[in-house]
Amino acid sequence: MTDAPHHPIQYSDIERARERLRDDVVKRTPVERSTSIGELVDADVHLKMEHLQWTGSFKTRGAFNKISQDVADGVDEFVAASAGNHAQGVALAATECGADSTVVMPETAPQAKVDATRDYGASVELVGEDFQETMAHAQSLVEGADAEFVHAYDDPDIVAGQGTLGIDMYEDLPEMDTVVVPIGGGGLISGIATAIKHHDPSVRVVGVQARGAETVHASLDKGAPVTLDETDTIADGIATGGISELTLRTIDAHVDEVVTVTDDEITRAILLLLERAKQVVEGAGAASVAALLGDDLDVAGETVMPLLCGGNLDMTMLQTVLVHALTDRQQTLRLRVQIDDRPGEMERLAGLIAERDANIHDVRHVRADESLDVGEAYLLFRVETNGAEHAASIVTTIEGAGYTVDDVTRGT
């Protein structure tokens, strides 16, 4: 396939970017077949494990491609705005090129990502409650200064650098029918799609956006980038709230399909990857697998490569994801049992739950509730179970002993 002249990113740009990358900055990440996920979607699934990159994401590719060229031209100071992954990519690339970097991050950025960015050599400033404020401050730092601003996706050198991953993916699995790539600002999928379509135009390139940060469909319909005032998703790595003219044009030229996934679907994908693939992947990185498991993308009978693009999952978010997923599976059960408030009732109920081989995580005694008569109380149990059938058997056992019990798992 020959690149059309009007396409903003040429395959030759990606080839030159690949020549600039160094093995000690960007490594060749593995591909692993997942038979368990493949069985769920009736496809031959190969996971591209870019979350195992040095910084935990693909971002170093684009950052190093841009910064290495600018340093050669005499620039020695760089500024970026990021919630985490781009921050680390810029920090590492600048340090390896012998330059200074300042990264502005939102005040709500996970401490682990802030610490990692500093560890890679950047000065970090925490500014803004949302990313728009963060971006505005970062851009103000280069006004009238000698520093260069490194945009996360609205830069041809960044997109070309990300496209080197597309070459790797095609070389890893040239027989693939479909590649699935998360979309935030669009730089990653723009580079990957350009590279893959150059080698084989028949490969279907599918983009995935979080529903709470979806902008591509509206932008394509309008013919111009659409920006959201705010985003709402656990996948902070793709919660840019907008794409650029550069990435919109490239997506329009090379991407075959864009689907959206919910936070619930992303959560299930994170847990599935933990359990079946033994991989810790952040929300943005798991979006591709969430798309495979959803209803909007049919890959039955195909050879598919979903991209796991980021592995910087904050431990607080991991806890949130696990609690949500275990609740969804009824492996965490919350029961409200009405009792006569007298000695021995808690012990008796604990014994009934133990009979079903379940573990009580905690229990709370409630007497002050307007629905209770004098001498009555509620015991609120949080119980660990093996799943829905086990949970139902526990409820049945307690009811069989004469108690009124309510499953309040989703109500508290």
Output the CA angle 345-356-333, nearest 5 degrees. Answer: 80
Residue 363 falls inside a structural domain: yes
Residue 1 falls inside a structural domain: no
Residue 15 falls inside a structural domain: yes
Domain shared by 335 and 217, yes or no: no
Residue 46 falls inside a structural domain: yes
pLDDT for residue 5: 42
pTM of the model: 0.89
182, 186, 187, 188: CA torsion to nearest 10: 20
Among 278, 298, 324, residue at a domain's last position: 324
Residue 4 falls inside a structural domain: no
Q: 183, 284 in Cβ contact below 8 A? A: no
Among 149, 168, 187, residue at a domain's last position: 149
Domain shared by 181 and 239, yes or no: yes
Quote the tokens at residue 33.
């077949």
Q: 70, 79 in Cβ contact below 8 A? A: no
Given phi > 0 = left and psi -120 to 50 = alpha, else beta, which region is 58? Answer: alpha
Domain shared by 306 and 370, yes or no: no
Domain shared by 189 and 114, yes or no: no
**d(C-alpha 78, C-alpha 100), whole Å:** 6
Domain shared by 243 and 390, yes or no: no
Residue 374 falls inside a structural domain: yes
Domain shared by 15 and 69, yes or no: no
Domain shared by 204 and 274, yes or no: yes
DSSP SS3 for 181: strand
pLDDT for residue 220: 97
pLDDT for residue 315: 86
Task: Pick the closest to residue 269 from 47, 79, 88 (CA basis).
Answer: 47
Q: In the chain, how many domains are there?
A: 3
CATH number where 385 lies: 3.30.70.260
Domain shared by 196 and 162, yes or no: yes
CATH number where 74 lies: 3.40.50.1100
Domain shared by 225 and 183, yes or no: yes
Among 305, 324, 343, residue at a domain's last position: 324
Domain shared by 314 and 338, yes or no: no
Residues sharing a CB contact under 8 Å with residue 356, sequence separation 6 or more, in sequence order: 390, 393, 394, 397
> Count of H helices and E strands in the chain?
15, 14
Domain shared by 41 and 132, yes or no: no
Q: Which domain holds residue 142?
A: 59-149
The two beta strands, 77-81 and 148-149, are: parallel
Residue 224 falls inside a structural domain: yes
Quickly tell me which residue has 């990692």 as its tokens. 116
Residue 302 falls inside a structural domain: yes
Domain shared by 143 and 169, yes or no: no
Residue 365: strand pairing partners: 379
- For 399, other C-beta atoms within 10 Å of its C-beta total 12
pLDDT for residue 6: 52
Angstrom distances, CA of residue 217 to CA of 7, 188, 224, 247, 258: 20, 17, 11, 13, 8
Residues sharing a CB contact under 8 Å with residue 240, sequence separation 6 or more, in sequence order: 131, 152, 153, 184, 185, 213, 215, 231
pLDDT for residue 150: 98
Q: Please give the sequence-ordered ranges of beta strands (E in DSSP) within 119-166, or none if there are none.
A: 123-126, 148-149
**d(C-alpha 130, C-alpha 109), whole Å:** 10
For residue 371, the 8-state DSSP code is: T
Quote the tokens at residue 158.
């960044």
pLDDT per position in the chain (412 positions), as tens? Answer: 334 445 679 999 999 999 999 999 999 999 999 999 999 999 999 999 999 999 999 999 999 999 999 999 999 999 999 977 999 999 999 999 999 999 999 898 888 889 999 999 999 999 998 777 888 999 999 998 899 999 999 999 999 999 999 999 999 999 999 999 999 999 999 999 999 999 999 999 999 999 999 999 999 999 999 999 888 999 988 988 999 999 999 999 999 999 999 999 999 999 999 999 999 999 999 999 999 999 999 999 999 999 999 999 888 888 888 888 888 889 999 999 999 999 999 999 999 999 999 999 999 999 999 999 999 999 999 999 999 999 999 999 999 999 999 999 876 4
